[in-house]
Structure 1
């Protein structure tokens, strides 16, 4: 009986050993296979990242891009002015004065004492001082719009001057409310824009006009 029990015990021990060994092998195979895979994957990622980094660096070196400072307003205006020939500028500037003259003339009946005068080119090629009297400065065409005073201490009357400066390729606006501004024609937007901050001439004039007068000019 004791011999039978001993044989049974040895059999159970052998089965347990086989199961444990098999489990260890399976576990070992799984663990090492996973680790090898991770190492291979990581190694592949490292190789891939190295290739990408090398490619990026090669592209960056081979791009030949140069950093250039952003041109200032004066430079951008000069570039825009070069897009127009002298004859094109004169045509656009003259058309601008025509539009202003027509628009404010339609509002004469609504604004007592309004005087609109178109002045032909006065000639002269010397530089124009912005602070000088617009009625005496040389120009390539001019429009004056005299507004009668309405008794308001803030929005009193005065004269708006639109002057063409063909030499500089600009149009000047002198407003009794806002002061003096210079504009250049922008072919992309077909607008006359301020040389300092890019605001629109028509917008500036309209803003001042409605403070002093009746109606909105359709320019």
Structure 2
């Protein structure tokens, strides 16, 4: 094989490598007494893998292309917000609940009275809007059968309030020791806002909360 044939063969291979996005190859071309060995490797397309992400190690008698992996940066929990035991981050929206039974019952009764006063005017503008208050354990709003019912159930032994509505489903609340409000145990949202949002989607009028 003469030098012209060797050069032509190499040129054709280079053309194929430019056209294909990724190709694995292994060849050995003899030139006189010397040899050029192309080790099995994956050559990535320039537009997808920048050249700066490839590293080549040259050893006689072959040259091998090695893919460099990027390291993932791990978040340092100790420097991003407060942490609890074992380095677990605390939810900044989570409120410490009031667990005293007497205080819990008193706040439950106050919420029921507040809701009854705020919702009573809506009875005049809705065909079916029945309010049932049984302090300190149950508060209920019954709409037309097609709309369903709203219920507040207060569990003194668990220090939680369970809110159920046709819109939001079932959500648990606690009485916040910090703010004195009934807040969601998952994200700390205030109960009154959810109740108003649910009612205005199904009823006429606006609760005075």
- If the TM-score is normalised by the length of the shorter chain, which range does it land in? 0.5 to 0.7
Mark the runs of 5 or more structure 2 residues left unpaired by the alignment. Answer: 1-84
1:69 positional shift: 3.0
Q: CA RMSD in A?
A: 2.4
Which residues of 2 match residues 119-138 of structure 1 at below 5 A? Answer: 119-120=134-135
Q: 1:148 aligns with which of 144, 149, 166?
A: 144
Mark the runs of 5 or more structure 1 residues left unpaired by the alignment. Answer: 1-65, 121-139, 150-155
Q: Please name the residue that 1:43 is paired with.
A: none
Which residues of 2 match residues 57-136 of structure 1 at below 5 A? Answer: 68-71=87-90, 76-77=94-95, 80-81=96-97, 83-120=98-135
1:87 positional shift: 0.6
* CA distance in 1: counterparts of 2:132 and 2:101, whole angstroms: 25
Where is the strand percentage greater, Structure 1 or Structure 2? 2
* CA distance in 1: counterparts of 2:103 and 2:91, whole angstroms: 25
* CA distance in 1: counterparts of 2:131 and 2:187, whole angstroms: 29
Q: 1:172 aligns with which of 153, 158, 162?
A: 162
After superposition, the C-alpha distances for 1:75-130 in whole angstroms (9 at most, x for unaligned) are x55xx22x45211111111111111122111211011111111235xxxxxxxxxx
TM-score, normalization: structure 2? 0.54
Contact 2:160 2:175 in 1 (8 A): yes
TM-score, normalization: structure 1? 0.51
Contact 2:99 2:159 in 1 (8 A): no
- Number of aligned residue pairs: 125
| Corresponding residue SS for 2:109 | helix
- The structure with the largest alpha-carbon Rg is 1
CA gap of 1:115–1:70, structure 2 versus 1, over 3 A, is same
Where is the helix percentage greater, Structure 1 or Structure 2? 1
After superposition, the C-alpha distances for 1:48-92 in whole angstroms (9 at most, x for unaligned) are xxxxxxxxxxxxxxxxxx985333589x55xx22x4521111111
CA gap of 1:73–1:167, structure 2 versus 1, over 3 A, is farther
* CA distance in 2: counterparts of 1:67 and 1:169, whole angstroms: 27
1:183 positional shift: 0.3
1:189 positional shift: 2.2
* CA distance in 1: counterparts of 2:150 and 2:198, whole angstroms: 10
